């Protein structure tokens, strides 16, 4: 029987979808963060369970030919799980994840090579930092993997370099003015999280400070501390409830307009603190361009855009369609979508608040029909009631944008068993150095 602290040498067979290496010790899976397939490694066991083990990577005895030097000093952060894997090998592994998920559902369509980035660094336009107390005072950073322990990280390679100076000023402001960090164990303290958003094309920056309390201490001193930084707007978000959700529902604008703008393709979008907006704008342009290509619009179609968010895909589609109907659960996102349509002078869109499975059924029973449907659901995929309605509606083409290969494959298998033909699957790398992968699938009515 193995024990914690025991040292072992094993062969790594594959990666999990979280990026951990998997080996076997006496037929029991052993998970090792930082290890790559094909490598022989020495590990120290850190967790022993009857059906699985965790180990700490101590030494790479035989390295994978795809191993590269680690570009990050904050390996305990857990954010970029496959940093040691060369970028071309990351892309091929992500393609295999999509292919494997489809094959498990009996779908034999060819998966295209993953569309990757030319330079996979500083690509995030949004960052969320936790705020906690340490022996040195208030600290700002990311959570260590599988925990809520804080890792200070001012020089993240996938974030904009501005964060280094910004976090240093916020840390100094908190310590000098006794702004108390949040204590999640006792639900006490002031500042819970710091969030930033950046418009890559506009250069505009939003800073959001999330507090448990209705008041943000030392507001004037905060704004003074930010002078000289290119912050377009500062927002105080109030989140009084316990739990892991980052943002509350109430916002107070401290400076600026409480929004920023960004451009995708040649469209301008307004982004508010609660808006969903893809975090990698370079790849978003590529992803939505592929969705538009798969939609095959001629200018005469009615298009349904489901889970439309702030209308990004809707507006891409609207310029080549007769009419676009967007549906989204979050009212604030629909407000932004309508504002974005007006801002871009696009008048052939309409947006509805509601659950996709309920609103599409309501429109269908009222006599509405879509020639093309675009779906961009959350990780869990589509509700069966929505898929039922789509089968009954029978649009000519269906474009499915997914951030989770397993739920994508499940829903595609369900649709292809009920009258649709799967024609193409194109993965896009939205999250370099992780094993998250987006994919766009094209189906037509049989």
Q: Is residue 426 within 8 Å of 112, Cβ to Cβ?
A: yes
> Span 87-101, mean pLDDT?
96
Span 35-58, mean pLDDT?
96
Q: What percent of the chain has pLDDT over 90?
A: 87
Domain closes at, from 215, 240, 264: 264
Q: Are 79 and 35 in contact (CB under 8 A)?
A: no
287-322 burial code (b ≥16 CB/10 A, e <16): bbbbbbebbebeeebbbbbbbbbbbbbbbbbbbbbe
Instruction: Examine the residue annotation and report whether 153 is marked as an active-site residue of this protein.
Output: no
In three-state secondary structure terms, 390 is helix
Residues 234, 135: one domain?
yes
321-339 per-position pLDDT tens digit: 999 999 999 898 899 899 9
Residue 82 lies in a domain: no
Of 195, 230, 264, the residue at which a domain comes to its end is: 264
8 Å CB contact between 332 and 338: no
For residue 131 the two structure tokens come to: 């705020």
pLDDT value at residue 154: 86
Q: Residues 390-437: pLDDT tens digits?
A: 999 999 999 999 999 999 999 999 999 999 999 999 999 999 999 899
Say which CATH number the domain at 192 has: 2.40.50.1070
Q: Flag whether 85 is in a domain.
A: no
Q: Which pair of structure tokens corresponds to residue 189?
A: 């303290």
Is it the case that residue 98 has pLDDT exceeding 80? yes
**pLDDT surpassing 80 at residue 318:** yes
Same-domain check for residues 336 and 310 = yes
Q: Which of 54-68, 209-223, 269-283, 413-427 has the lowest mean pLDDT?
A: 269-283
Calculate mean pLDDT across residues 151-179: 94
Identify whether residues 293 and 207 lie together within a single domain.
no
Tell me the pLDDT band of 168, cut-offs 50, 70 and 90. Answer: very high
On the question of pLDDT at 120 being above 80, the answer is: yes
Provide the pLDDT confidence category of residue 146 given band limits of 50, 70 and 90. confident
Position 332 scores a pLDDT of 86
Residue 335 lies in a domain: yes
CB contact set of 173 (below 8 Å; sequence gap of 6+)? 179, 218, 221, 222, 225
pLDDT of residue 117: 97
- Residues 200, 260, single domain; the answer is yes
- Same domain? For 97 and 157 the reply is no
For the segment 269-297, the average pLDDT, to the nearest whole number, is: 93
One domain, residues 149 and 284: no
pLDDT at 75 over 80: no
CA distance 123 to 117: 9
Residue 66 · residue 89 · CB < 8 Å: yes
Q: Are 47 and 32 in contact (CB under 8 A)?
A: no
pLDDT bracket for residue 2 (50, 70, 90): confident
Query: Active site residue: 77, 156, 308, 403, which one?
Result: 403
Q: What is the CATH number of the domain that holds 106?
A: 3.40.50.150
| 8 A C-beta contact, residue 393 and residue 401 | no
Pair 436, 311 in one domain? yes
Q: Mark whether 426 and 313 lie in a shared domain.
A: yes
Mean pLDDT of 235-243: 96
pLDDT of residue 170: 97
Q: Return the pLDDT at 128.
A: 95
Confidence band (pLDDT; 50, 70, 90) for 96?
very high
Give the end of a domain, one of 264, 288, 311. Answer: 264
Q: Is residue 274 part of a domain?
A: no
Structure tokens of 344? 């871009």
| Cβ-Cβ contacts under 8 Å for 409 (sequence gap 6 or more) | 101, 102, 104, 105, 107
Do 131 and 107 have their domain in common?
A: no
pLDDT digits (tens, 9 = 90+) for 194-233: 999 999 999 999 999 999 999 999 999 999 999 999 999 9
Reading across the β-sheet that carries 233-238, which strands appear in turn? 150-152, 137-143, 126-134, 191-198, 205-211, 233-238, 250-255
Half-sphere exposure of 89 (CA within 13 A, CB side): 16
Does some domain include residue 107? yes
| Residue 318 · residue 338 · CB < 8 Å | no
Q: Specify the CATH number for the domain of residue 12.
A: 2.40.50.140
Q: pLDDT at residue 176 above 90? A: yes
pTM of the model: 0.91
Q: At what angle do helices 87-104 and 405-416 cross, to 10 degrees?
A: 40
**Greater pLDDT, 9 or 136:** 9
- Do the Cβ atoms of 405 and 97 come closer than 8 Å? yes
The stretch 177-189 carries a mean pLDDT of 95
**With the C-alpha atoms ordered 209, 212, 214, 217, is the resulting torsion angle positive or negative?**
negative
**Is position 81 within any domain?**
no
Full domain range(s) for residue 363: 90-119+280-445
**CA 284 – CA 299 distance, rounded (Å):** 23
- Looking at residue 215, its pLDDT comes to 95
Q: How many domains does the chain have?
A: 3
293 and 339 share one domain: yes
For residues 118-130, give the mean pLDDT: 96
Q: Is the pLDDT of residue 159 over 80?
A: yes
Residue 321 lies in a domain: yes
CB 434 within 8 A of CB 80: yes
Residues 34 and 115 in one domain: no
- Residue 2 domain-assigned (yes or no): no
In a shared domain, residues 242 and 331:
no
pLDDT band per the 50, 70, 90 thresholds, residue 149: confident
- What was the pLDDT predicted at 414? 97
Average pLDDT over residues 368-375: 97
* pLDDT (0 to 100) of residue 52: 95
Q: What is the chain's mean pLDDT, rounded?
A: 95
């Amino acid at each position: 029987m193995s024990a914690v602290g025991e040292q072992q040498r094993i062969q790594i067979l594959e990666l999990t979808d979280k990026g951990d290496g998997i080996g076997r010790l006496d037929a029991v899976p052993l998970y090792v963060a930082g290890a790559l397939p094909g490598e022989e490694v020495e590990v120290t066991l850190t967790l022993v369970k009857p059906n699985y083990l965790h180990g700490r990577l101590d030494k790479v005895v035989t390295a994978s030919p795809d191993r590269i030097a680690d570009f990050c000093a904050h390996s305990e952060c857990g954010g970029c799980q496959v940093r040691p894997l060369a970028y071309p090998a990351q892309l091929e592994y992500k393609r295999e994840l999509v292919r494997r998920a489809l094959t498990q559902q009996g779908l034999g369509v060819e998966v295209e090579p993953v569309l990757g980035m030319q330079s996979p660094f500083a690509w995030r336009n949004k960052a969320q930092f936790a705020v906690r107390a340490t022996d040195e005072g208030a600290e700002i950073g990311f959570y260590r993997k599988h925990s809520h322990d804080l890792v200070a990280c001012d020089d993240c390679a996938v974030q904009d370099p501005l964060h280094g100076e910004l976090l240093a000023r916020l840390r100094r402001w908190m310590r000098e003015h006794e702004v108390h960090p949040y204590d999640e164990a006792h639900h006490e303290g002031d500042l819970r999280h710091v969030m930033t958003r950046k418009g890559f094309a506009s250069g505009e920056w939003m800073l959001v400070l999330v507090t448990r309390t209705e008041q943000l201490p030392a507001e004037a001193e905060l704004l003074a501390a930010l002078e000289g930084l290119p912050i377009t707007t500062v927002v105080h978000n109030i989140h009084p409830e316990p739990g892991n959700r980052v943002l509350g529902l109430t916002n107070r604008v401290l400076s600026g307009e409480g929004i920023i703008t960004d451009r995708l393709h040649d469209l301008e979008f307004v982004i508010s603190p609660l808006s969903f907006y893809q975090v990698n704008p370079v790849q978003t342009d590529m992803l939505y361009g592929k969705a538009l290509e798969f939609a095959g619009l001629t200018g005469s179609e009615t298009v349904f855009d489901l889970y439309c968010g702030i209308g990004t895909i809707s507006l891409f589609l609207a310029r080549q369609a007769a009419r676009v109907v967007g549906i989204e659960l979050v009212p604030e996102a629909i407000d932004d979508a309508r504002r974005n349509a007006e801002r871009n002078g696009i008048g052939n869109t309409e947006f509805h608040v509601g659950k996709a499975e309920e609103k599409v059924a309501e429109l269908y029973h009222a006599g509405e029909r879509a020639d093309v449907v675009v779906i961009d659901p959350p990780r869990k995929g589509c509700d069966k009631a929505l898929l039922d309605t789509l089968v009954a509606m029978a649009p000519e083409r269906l474009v499915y944008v997914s951030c989770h290969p397993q739920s994508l494959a499940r829903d595609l298998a369900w649709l292809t068993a009920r009258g649709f033909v799967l024609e193409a699957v194109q993965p896009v790398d939205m999250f370099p150095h992780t094993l998250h992968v987006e994919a766009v699938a094209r189906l037509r009515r049989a």
